[in-house]
Structure 1
């Protein structure tokens, strides 16, 4: 059994990724972002669905800035460039990769 809120706190302005489950074409990870001020850009080969479990963040996709808070979800299609612009303090995410 795993508690999703038992996580390592990364250094400020960095992130920590932990795989919780990897089965066939699905991978579920927790991501902990600690007071990010340096934008982080990603292009994943799989579709990704994320939910913010704790905290607030700004994420840009195709020129649109999404302000996310606890409980907000977002779908990011495979091969879509997306940039995590910044987080307010610590943000805990659940990311589900499909494909």
Structure 2
């Protein structure tokens, strides 16, 4: 048995970076747990996330705005806020705080069959 450890707030960039950082923290064949670090990035206009798996996502630090297709308003997210985005729930990130960075914790898993 191997024990892994880390700190979700460790090794954050000091300032804005060109691309978001996606870091796999743990997972299995069916589940992915990742840290995402954003410094002002947003989903390009006209593009959408449309994922095959459910995604539970939480803003650990920083802030962001997310738009879900079919909703009238963007969702403002700050530290501690989380969402469960079902598979194929089209959404886009419209803004992320750049300094200090926005840190997300995301868990991806097969769609709930309920």
Counterparts of 1:52 and 1:79 in 2: how far apart (Å)?
Answer: 21
| CA displacement, residues 40-63 of structure 1 (integer Å, 9 cap, x when unaligned) | 432211000001000110000124
SS at structure 1 position matched to 2:52: coil
Q: 2:6 aligns with which of 2, 8, 16?
A: 2
Shift of residue 8, structure 1, vs aligned partner: 4.8
Give 5+ residue unaligned stretches, structure 2: none
Q: Which structure shows the bigger proportion of residues in strand conformation? A: 1
Shift of residue 24, structure 1, vs aligned partner: 3.9
Counterpart in the other structure of 2:103: 92
Pairwise CA RMSD: 1.7
| Structure with greater Cα Rg | 2
SS at structure 2 position matched to 1:60: strand
| CA displacement, residues 4-39 of structure 1 (integer Å, 9 cap, x when unaligned) | 112353615x31100111124211000001112x43
How many aligned residue pairs are there?
A: 97
Give 5+ residue unaligned stretches, structure 1: none
Q: How does 1:1-99 map to 2 (within 5 A)?
A: 1-9=5-13, 11-12=17-18, 14-36=19-41, 38-40=42-44, 41-64=48-71, 65-89=74-98, 90-99=101-110
